């Protein structure tokens, strides 16, 4: 609701009813309803995607990046479903907004989200308000403790998407250790989004090669970001 609308509401004169109880006019009631609707939408939006915490080195993807990565995720799942009778398990490591995006797309299409898993340090995502009332697979993950992983995911993930929070060799090395324990040993695929300066380390620890696609963020960063994979991507190069 705009400040002008609030001002109009504050200055609105009340109408007298037959029982002498002051009542707001129809215009004022409509303005008040608009205010509460906007407030509810803001609260709902905040519960879907918490604000960035720069102390945790959080920088959310922009919409175009989410769309591009989500398209590749779904293409990988379709391809791997054709090659395997078992469910394709996808792990999102330290990229919560992409997880929310893919999950929302699937739910809007009335598709299952039970095979999507979020491994994330920020516990705000564990208490996300799920209006769809469907499974929300949150697992707290700290790259400083890379061995602490959900037992039911070890060696079971056909696709892992990771975005380590810090541009350091320690962070990438630890995240890589976790990825190697999560991913299927033979056919598992990896999408890594991180700083372009990590190219040599991505090859060293994950045998991942740089692609042309460049992830973007809602708030611009000075560091150049890049995307690395261990396979030939389906929807972008």
CATH number assigned to the domain comprising residue 135: 3.40.50.150
Q: Which domain holds residue 110?
A: 58-229
Total domains, the chain: 1
Q: Is 208 helix (H, G, I), strand (E, B) or coil?
A: coil
Q: Would residue 127 count as lying in a domain?
A: yes
* 18 is a domain residue: no
Q: Which residue has the tokens 């002008």?
A: 4
- Using CA atoms in the order 108, 112, 115, 117, what is the torsion angle rounded to 10 degrees? 30
Rg (CA), the chain: 23
104-113 as b/e, with b when 16 or more CB fall inside 10 Å?
Answer: ebbeeeeeeb
Tell me the C-alpha distance between 135 and 8, whole Å: 44
Q: Is residue 181 part of a domain?
A: yes
Between 201 and 84, where is the model more confident?
A: 201
Higher pLDDT, 133 or 166: 166
Q: pTM of whole model > 0.85?
A: no
In a domain, 24, yes or no: no
Measured distance between the N- and C-terminal CA atoms of the chain, rounded to whole angstroms: 43
The predicted pLDDT at position 130 comes to 55
User: Is 187's pLDDT higher than 90?
Assistant: no
In a domain, 11, yes or no: no
The answer to whether position 81 is within a domain reads yes
- Is residue 103 situated within a structural domain? yes
| pLDDT at residue 236 greater than cutoff 90 | no
Q: How confident is the model at residue 77 (pLDDT cuts 50, 70, 90)?
A: very high
- Please indicate, yes or no, if residue 19 is contained in any of the structural domains: no
pLDDT for 212: 95
């Amino acid at each position: 609701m705009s400040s002008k609308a609030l001002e109009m509401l504050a200055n609105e004169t009340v109408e007298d009813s037959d029982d002498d109880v002051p009542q707001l006019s129809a215009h004022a009631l409509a303005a008040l309803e608009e205010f509460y609707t906007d407030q509810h939408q803001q609260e709902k939006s905040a519960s879907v995607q918490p604000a960035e915490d720069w102390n945790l080195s959080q920088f959310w993807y922009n919409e175009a990046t989410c769309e591009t990565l989500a398209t590749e995720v779904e293409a990988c799942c379709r391809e791997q479903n054709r090659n395997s009778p078992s469910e394709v398990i996808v792990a999102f490591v330290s990229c919560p907004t992409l997880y929310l995006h893919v999950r929302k797309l699937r739910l809007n299409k009335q598709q299952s989200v039970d095979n999507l898993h979020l491994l994330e340090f920020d516990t705000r995502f564990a208490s996300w308000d799920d209006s769809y009332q469907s499974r929300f697979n949150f697992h707290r993950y700290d790259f400083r403790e890379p061995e602490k992983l959900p037992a039911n995911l070890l060696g079971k993930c056909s696709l892992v998407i990771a975005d380590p929070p810090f541009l350091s060799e320690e962070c990438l090395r630890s995240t890589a250790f976790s990825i190697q324990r999560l991913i299927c040993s033979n056919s598992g695929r990896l999408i890594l989004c991180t700083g372009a300066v990590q190219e040599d380390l991505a090859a060293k620890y994950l045998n991942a090669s740089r692609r042309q696609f460049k992830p973007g963020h809602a708030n611009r960063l000075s560091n150049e970001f890049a995307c690395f994979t261990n396979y030939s991507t389906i929807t972008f190069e």
